[in-house]
Structure 1
Amino acid sequence: MVFLVALFASFTYWSLSSTDKTFDTCEIIGLSDVNEIDFKKYDSVIVAASTLYEANSIKNVMQGEQYRKAWSTPVKVPILYLNDLNGNVNILEEGGGQQTHSLKLKKDDGTLMTLRSVSKDPSPLVPKIAHTLGIENIVVDGISAQHPYAALVVSELSKKVKILNTIPKLVFLPKQGKLSDYNVKYGNRLFLLEYETEGNADWLGLKNVDSLIDTDDLQKLKIKNTSKVGINVNILVRARLFDLLIGDWDRHAKQWGWAIENIGDSINAVPLPCDRDNAFFNLEGVLPTLISNNTFLPEVQSFESEIEFLPGLISPFDVYFMRDIPRSVFEQEAKQLQLLLTDKAIESSFDVWTDEIFELDGKELIAKIKNRRDDLKEYALQFHQELTNSEELTETLKGSEDIEMTKGQMSCFNCVNK
């Protein structure tokens, strides 16, 4: 027994110490000195999203194969100069969460866009003790469970099921004058260029919709105009069931925007999901399996043909907005998703991937989506039952901490009069 424990510890340390890097950017193929290249002479480059996650056989066993090959496989990507975008784009500020580097852009007409880094930087999440013990790679390597190009497919699938999306495009951003002081951090990197979930809504092309707002602003609007403001519950339920289909387990309140539709004296908010980093999340290996379990991290689930633990996927966002939605809506939207997501619709959504990336992961992901689609009615009814059994919220949603709310206003969207 002692021998087995020692052997496990040795393999673990060997796996975790394979690299001391905590962050790396994309690798450009075929160009020797990137800083000497005039990218204006090219319309595209061949890049690998990151080679940081390459692994030997021990690491593959201990920390999983994940999407390592997708990260290190070169793909052809168009080059973007900000001055070439329509609408006179200006950089507003840096943004992003704890892992993503991002730049918020604004056009003259008020349209907001974001450049979100494909490569992630989890170093802020690495505890000091991990650095001391030399095992920070256990956090850093977790990014390999995310598919670098998942968002592109999710966007296509979203269109098929009539759910709004931020229309991400994969681009390579060379160093350029427009970046100014941001060149060091953002120049010569791979990004997803997409629309923001706030600002001008013209790009959506929706009748009677003139603006986009974040969840906290929707709450403020509801408190101010109690009886006038509602949400499109059918599309919200459809969007959350769609999340189950693609295995996107990270859907907190800050990952939603709302298209504000004015119909007479009423205001109807249509959900706009964003940030698809964790769609198709693939968690493998001895260590990740031990760390992520239903007791400690019930929401962190690998994308398999079946949902392992649906209660872990119920978020405070769901309880706040969806707890009182009738069962019939869940049944109706599950059926609608099954009708819209035909085999052909699913398969064609992967056409946005290069052949090299599709050969790695496409067929397996398609099979899993189809399987989840076929079981969606069962998942929808279970989702509704879990919400019905849930308790009302006693804390604010993520991102709404600064809003002054009564106990009722805090508990659910339609509880503002309590």
Structure 2
Amino acid sequence: MPFTYRVSLFSFLVLMGCARQPYFQPDARVPNAASLRPLGPDSAWVTAGRHYQRGALHNALLGKHYRPVWAMPVAMPVLGLRTAVPGTTLKPGKMGGGFQTSSLTLDAANGRSYVLRTLDKDPFKTLPKVMRKTFLLTLVRDQTSAGNPYAAFVVPPLAQAAGLLHTTPLPFYIAASDTTLGPFSKRFQGKVTLLEERQDGKENLDPSFGKATDLVDSEDMLEKRYDDPTHQIDEVQFARARLFDIWLGDWDRHEGQWQWAVYEEKGRTRYQPVPKDRDQVFYRFDDGLLPYLASRRWAIRKFRTFKPRYEDIEGLVKNARFIDARALHAVTRSQFQQQAAYLQQHLTDAVITTALHRFPPPVYALEGQHTQQALQARRAALPQAANTFYKLLAKHVTIPGTDKPERFLVERLSDTTTRVSMYRITDKEDKYRADSLCYQRTFRTDETQRLTLHGLGGQDVFELSGEVNRGIRIDIYGGPKPDVVIDKSRVRGWGKKTFYYDTKRDNELTKGPSTRDKTTKGVKMHAYDREGS
């Protein structure tokens, strides 16, 4: 780092000292709005966060980010519980929110629920207690400006064109004197907020969900998925949703950012993804010295900046590794390419233009053209991005069973391909009946280094066959109940390619020339993180 930068940085941190108090604007309403266009009583001129506006030195060190957008006066409707949702009246429900935002459930007279949450964030609780009164709190608070506060409002038309389920958030200002939220009023007075449909429970289903029977969160979905093989994720639809995330530059897509619409179809239950919380769309982070260093691959890699080119797919998808591994293990390269082509076809220039005009007009004047050009460039490169994402997923694929009995069939077809099939074990004579097939995918040796099979709670059977010169390593974890492993496969060479992990008791292992017995007296190898705990 050049000497002048080191001196400037040191001086800057010393000047910051303790956390700045107070930090946030006391009221989002623009103090002197006389020079702005007059508005009616149901609207107000507001700024999402004029406290993020800083000088040239600050911007050089910590990034300009979206500070002009946060400080830009925009016209916004004032929240009225009788008018926010046409045809119904809202009333305060339960207080919620994560570590950074305040959120409040608003219940409608028709039985549906909505969520009201603040647009600005306070990462106070994300820091260790010893750091909450230091300059680090001010530093972390300041970086909220890397997010575009109005980006979430642009997403619905894009998601609609992409054929994805979605919420439709709306912006509202809460008057500083508003008391209609009862005991929660003080938490929201003078704030800019986002109001959107609550995607939880069958009572919140609307016609856009078609024949869905329920809406559940990721934890509940995964619990059902691992309990019964007839419960399956719509992985191809999830692949489209994840490519859509990548296109938007939305890096924060962990399992808590998804709900799942439930569909009952011919004896099977299908879960279709419903994304929520679009806080990091169009993220802009690396335009200052400290954020640039912090976002390097050896540092906080997930903080990817939205640009016309995809700069680091692995960093962009890092936060979603848990749910990606569990909801994309059946999707092939060709299916990813099909979904990329679908998005290219449906996310037209006209769709993008219409969506970006959901920015407030002053914000569109600042960001609209630049964002459109970036989206168009990223759309053109989406097949390459999809291929990079697929290759990351394909390196190590985990295929879990359920707590019911299953039969895993691994066929080493050639030096280049291995097919894995999973069947429900039924009482019928044909053990490979098509209607009992739960999973099937052919893997390539040059893409996949390891396949991990988890039997989970059922009494499972693992059968391996085929004789090849080169092959993928197969790791088998039988689970707590008695299992059978029959390895008739052979991969020529010095190294073993089938590894069996289980307890020594009550399991039946028929070893082949490529089998390595890793059974032990302990039960630690039975562990599988089902819900992200």
Amino acid at match of 1:261: Y
Question: SS in structure 1 opposite 2:351?
Answer: helix
Other-structure match for 1:258: 260
Residues 252-280 of structure 1: per-residue CA shift (max 9 Å, x gap): 00100011122243222111000011110
Distance 1:2 1:349 in 2: 45
SS at match of 2:305: coil
Q: Is the aligned partner of 1:82 residue 2:65?
A: no
Change (3 A) 1:214 1:322: same
Counterpart of 2:167, as a letter, is: T
- Offset at 1:341? 1.0
Give the equivalent residue in structure 2 for 1:398. Answer: none
Map of 2:314 onto structure 1? 311
Matched, 1:334 2:340: yes
Q: Which amino acid aligns with 2:97?
A: G
Q: Root-mean-square deviation (CA), in Å?
A: 2.7
1:52 is matched with: 51
Counterpart residue number, 1:205:
208
Q: Secondary structure at the match of 2:50?
A: coil
CA distance in 2, matches of 1:80, 1:308: 40
The corresponding residue for 1:38 is none
Query: What pairs with 1:109-258 in structure 2 (closer than 5 Å)?
Result: 109-128=110-129, 130-131=131-132, 133-174=134-175, 175-199=177-201, 200-224=203-227, 226-258=228-260
Q: Which has the higher contact order (CA 8 A, sep 6+)?
A: 1
Runs of 5+ unmatched residues, structure 2: 34-39, 401-455, 458-478, 480-525
Tell me, in whole angstroms, the C-alpha distance in 1 between the residues paired with 2:153 and 2:378: 20
Give 2:280's aligned residue: 278
Structure 2 CA distance for aligned equivalents of residues 203 and 338 of structure 1: 28
Structure 1 unaligned residues grouped into runs of 5+: 33-40, 395-404, 414-418
Equivalents in 2 of 1:26, 1:324: separation in Å?
50
Q: Distance in 2 between matches of 1:303 and 1:246?
A: 7
In the superposition, relative to structure 1, how do residues 177 and 57 fare at CA in structure 2: closer, same or farther (>3 Å)? Answer: closer
1:36 corresponds to: none
Give the whole-Å Cα distance in 2 for the aligned partners of 1:5 and 1:206: 55
**1:324–1:388 CA contact under 8 A, matched in 2:** no
Question: 2-side partners of 1:190 and 1:237: how far apart?
Answer: 33
Which residue in the other structure is 1:268 paired with? 270
1:268–1:26 distance in 2 versus 1, CA, 3 Å: farther
The SS at the match of 1:120 is: coil
User: In the alignment, residue 345 of structure 1 is paired with which amino acid?
Assistant: V
Deviation at 1:173?
2.5
Inter-partner Cα distance in structure 1 for 2:118 and 2:530: 34
Distance 2:70 2:132 in 1: 24
| Change over 3 Å in CA distance of 1:127–1:18 after alignment to 2 | closer
Q: Cα offset for 1:183?
A: 1.2
Q: What SS is found at the alignment partner of 2:259?
A: strand
Count of residue pairs brought into register by the alignment:
394
Q: Distance in 1 between matches of 2:266 and 2:212?
A: 12
| 89-98 or 294-303: bigger deviation | 89-98
Provide the C-alpha distance between the structure 2 equivalents of 1:310 and 1:249, rounded to a whole number of angstroms.
10
Structure whose residues are more often helix by fraction: 1
Any idea what SS the aligned residue of 1:82 has?
coil
Moved more, 343-352 or 23-32: 23-32
Secondary structure in structure 2 of the residue aligned to 1:279? coil
Partner Cα distance (2:15, 2:333) in 1: 51
Deviations 1:370-408 (A, max 9, x none): 1111010011111111101136499xxxxxxxxxx8678
- Counterpart position of 2:509: none
Moved more, 41-50 or 170-179: 170-179
Greater displacement, 13-22 / 268-277: 13-22
Matches within 5 A, 1:59-78: 59-78=58-77
Helix, strand or coil: the match of 2:163? coil
Tell me by how many angstroms 1:128 deviates: 4.8
Please report how far the alpha carbon of residue 297 of structure 1 lies from its aligned counterpart in structure 2 after TM superposition. 1.4
SS at match of 2:213: strand
- Whole-angstrom distance in 1 between the partners of 2:22 and 2:304: 26
Higher deviation after alignment, 374-383 or 197-206: 197-206
How far the C-alpha of 1:16 sits from its partner, in A, is 7.8
Q: How far apart in 2 are the matches of 1:272 and 1:182?
A: 28
- Three-state SS of the structure 1 residue aligned to 2:290 is helix
How much identity, in percent, do the aligned residues show? Answer: 27
CA 1:326–1:42 in structure 2 vs 1: closer, same or farther (change >3 Å)?
same
* Counterpart secondary structure, 2:49: coil
Structure holding more strand per residue: 2
C-alpha contact 1:26 1:50 (8 A) present in aligned 2: no
Distance 1:241 1:78 in 2: 33
- The separation in 1 between residues aligned to 2:111 and 2:233, in whole angstroms, is 24
Task: State the 1:18 CA deviation.
Answer: 10
Give the Cα–Cα distance (whole angstroms) in 2 for the partners of residues 75 and 361 of structure 1: 14
Which of 284, 287, 297 is matched with 2:290 structurally? Answer: 287
What CA deviation, in whole Å up to 9, does each residue of 1:303-359 have, x standing for no partner? Answer: 111122212224211111112312221011000000011112111211111221011
Partner of 1:9: 10
CA contact (8 A) 2:329 2:397 kept: no
Contact 2:157 2:351 in 1 (8 A): no
